[in-house]
């Protein structure tokens, strides 16, 4: 760990071989830009916040195409009031990765990377507190109070949960603070915000997670913020051959397809960016889109480029067409003029994503089946379950074009103010 590393995790204690337990005020699921902004806001309000992510820091951005540039200006991606300036018009993926690392270190945010949250459950008074049900529900069953723990609290496993196990919840975690640098002022800043769990904020939730190495962890929290973004499930074609190894929903860079025939499926920004980059890397690109034209939200400064490439025949486009089947070297395309067999040694299905609402469903937060939007109060971001909040693009359900970093970065301020109206800035 370098001198400017973020403080990663707090003191963890394994008890008798059972899952480790710790207590926080606010547990934030997801270290995307909006989860990080929420952690900063909570720290500023004097709350002990921790962020858990199944991937690396800002893993969504990490997974963007390698040479992608944001459509937003740097200022609109900034969080915590820390300036984000770049020498170019729009920040690149690498600029953003460096920026969010810097901000995380600067505030000494507690981020537990490569740890997936599998289950959330409501803690109740004494015995008989019910837990979430369904996939990923708690697989630990009883929490016995340690100092500051959850005395006598009982969590019942959901369907299919293994037999009960006893675990002892640790008291307030002993944070090991790593100063971002030797400058006294910044050290003070971190110490000021690295609050211990507040005695007045009783744990209301149990959070079950698992590290990449397979260790189970249990965290109790007064509030839970679900900031899991919308990269949960990629939209699928649902056609034969979609599982073949040369089919991917992730596009990194065109070089891999130099001089190869490829098919790009989709008509939005991701499909257009991939098609252009593949074309410029020497691939022979066919674009297949079910709509009559490219999507209306294709970036206006990119649209003339793709339109002209299609017009001159450099990129072949089939509109009002669908992929019917994928073979190892070809794609069967259904067009208004009949079926076509298109050569393809790589197939990029750039069809967008759907949020994964499983954690909210475990806590019985209603999700609108049509929009995919959880029931929540926009003034506080609290869901219909007290103490459970959402932040970031998950708030826009299936339509990821409503919430971006630009607006989702402010959700944390609303949450912190709701939790600590007396202290939040
Ligand atoms: C190519 C591309 C370009 C874009 N350009 C812009 C732009 O210019 N401006 C803009 O404002 N927006 C842009 N966006 C949109 C932006 O990326 C998203 O709006 C933003 O990432 C949402 O942030 P978030 O914090 O809500 O979620 P995310 O960034 O998706 O973060 C969610 C995190 O939750 C983690 N997670 C999920 N489930 C679990 C679990 N069970 N346990 C633990 N961790 C979990 C994930 O690993 C992930 O790191 C772009 C998107 C793409 C794909």
- What's the pLDDT tens digit per position in 32-55? 999 999 999 999 999 999 999 999
> Quick one: which atom of ligand 1 is closest to the CA of 230?
30
Give the pLDDT confidence score for residue 310 in this predicted structure: 98
Give the pLDDT confidence score for residue 399 in this predicted structure: 87
Q: How far apart are CA 267 and CA 293, in angstroms?
A: 7
Of all residues in the chain, what percent carry a pLDDT higher than 90?
Answer: 73
* Residue 231 CA, ligand 1 centroid: distance in Å: 7
| 57-95 pLDDT per residue, tens | 999 999 999 999 999 999 999 999 999 999 999 999 999
> Quick one: which atom of ligand 1 is closest to the CA of 231?
30
Taking a C-beta distance cutoff of 8 angstroms, is the pair 138, 119 a contact?
Answer: yes
Looking at the predicted structure, is the pLDDT value of residue 169 above 90?
A: no
Pocket perturbation via mutation, ligand 1, pick of 28, 29, 30 by most ligand atoms within 8 A of CB: 30
Give the pLDDT confidence score for residue 135 in this predicted structure: 35
Of all residues in the chain, what percent carry a pLDDT higher than 70?
Answer: 78
Give the pLDDT confidence score for residue 273 in this predicted structure: 97
Give the pLDDT confidence score for residue 318 in this predicted structure: 98
Q: How far apart are CA 389 and CA 159, in angstroms?
A: 25
* Residue 410 CA, ligand 1 centroid: distance in Å: 14
Binding-site residues, ligand 1, Cβ < 6 A: 29-35, 52-55, 59-60, 64, 68, 70-72, 116-117, 227-231, 270, 392-393, 404-406, 408
**To the nearest whole number, what is the mean pLDDT of the chain?**
83
Question: Which sign does the torsion angle of CA 237, 240, 242, 243 carry?
Answer: positive
* Residue 296 CA, ligand 1 centroid: distance in Å: 22
Over residues 317-340, mean pLDDT: 98
Residue nearest to atom 2 of ligand 1 (CA): 64
Give the pLDDT confidence score for residue 282 in this predicted structure: 98
Looking at the predicted structure, is the pLDDT value of residue 24 above 80?
A: yes
Looking at the predicted structure, is the pLDDT value of residue 349 above 50?
A: yes
Residue nearest to atom 14 of ligand 1 (CA): 404
Residue nearest to atom 30 of ligand 1 (CA): 229
Over residues 382-402, mean pLDDT: 94
Q: For residues 420 and 174, which has the higher predicted lDDT (pLDDT)? A: 420
Pocket perturbation via mutation, ligand 1, pick of 27, 72, 228 by most ligand atoms within 8 A of CB: 228
Query: Residue 233: what are its φ and ψ, rounded to 5°?
Result: -125, 125
CA atoms within 13 A of residue 405's CA, in its CB half-sphere: 21
* Residue 235 CA, ligand 1 centroid: distance in Å: 16
424 pLDDT tier (thresholds 50, 70, 90): low
| 275-304 pLDDT per residue, tens | 999 999 999 999 999 999 999 999 999 999
Give the pLDDT confidence score for residue 231 in this predicted structure: 85
User: Domains along the chain?
Assistant: 3-231+354-423 (3.50.50.60), 247-349 (3.50.50.60)
* Residue 133 CA, ligand 1 centroid: distance in Å: 26
> Quick one: which atom of ligand 1 is closest to the CA of 209?
42
* Residue 89 CA, ligand 1 centroid: distance in Å: 22
């Amino acid at each position: 760990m370098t001198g400017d590393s973020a403080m990663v995790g707090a003191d963890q204690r394994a008890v008798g071989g059972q899952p480790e337990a710790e207590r926080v005020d606010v547990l934030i699921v997801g270290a995307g830009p909006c989860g990080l902004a929420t952690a900063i806001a909570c720290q500023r309000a004097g709350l002990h916040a921790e962020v858990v992510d199944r991937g690396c820091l800002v893993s969504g951005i990490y997974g963007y195409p390698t040479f992608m540039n944001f459509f937003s200006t740097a200022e609109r991606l900034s969080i915590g009031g820390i300036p984000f300036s770049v020498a170019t018009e729009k920040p690149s993926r690498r600029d953003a990765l460096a920026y969010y690392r810097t901000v995380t270190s600067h505030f000494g945010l507690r981020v537990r990377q490569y740890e997936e949250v599998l289950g959330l459950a409501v803690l109740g008074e004494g015995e008989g507190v019910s837990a979430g049900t369904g996939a990923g529900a708690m697989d630990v069953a009883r929490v016995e109070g340690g100092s500051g723990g959850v005395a006598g609290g009982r969590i019942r496993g959901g369907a299919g949960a293994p037999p009960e196990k006893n675990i002892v919840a640790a008291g307030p975690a002993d944070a090991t603070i790593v100063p971002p640098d030797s400058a006294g002022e910044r050290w003070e800043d971190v110490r000021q915000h690295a609050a211990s769990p507040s005695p007045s904020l009783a744990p209301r939730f149990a959070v079950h997670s698992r590290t990449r190495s397979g260790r189970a962890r249990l965290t109790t929290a007064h509030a839970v913020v679900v900031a899991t973004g919308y990269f949960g499930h990629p939209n699928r074609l649902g056609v034969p051959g979609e599982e073949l190894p040369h089919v991917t929903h992730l596009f990194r860079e065109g070089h891999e397809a130099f001089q190869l025939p490829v098919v790009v499926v989709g008509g939005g920004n991701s499909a257009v960016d991939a098609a252009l980059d593949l074309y410029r890397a020497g691939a022979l690109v066919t674009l297949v889109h079910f709509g009559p034209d490219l999507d209306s939200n294709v970036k206006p400064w990119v649209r003339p480029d793709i339109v002209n490439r299609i017009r001159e025949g450099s990129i072949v486009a089939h509109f009002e067409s669908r992929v019917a089947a994928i073979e190892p070297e070809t794609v069967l395309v259904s067009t208004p003029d009949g079926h076509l067999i298109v050569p393809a040694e790589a197939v990029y299905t750039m069809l967008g994503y759907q949020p994964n609402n499983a954690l909210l469903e475990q806590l019985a937060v209603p999700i609108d089946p049509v929009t995919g939007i959880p029931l929540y109060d926009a003034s506080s971001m609290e869901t219909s379950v007290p103490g459970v909040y959402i932040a970031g693009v998950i708030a826009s359900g299936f339509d990821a074009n409503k919430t971006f970093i630009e607006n989702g970065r402010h959700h944390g301020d609303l949450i912190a103010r709701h939790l600590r109206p007396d202290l939040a800035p």
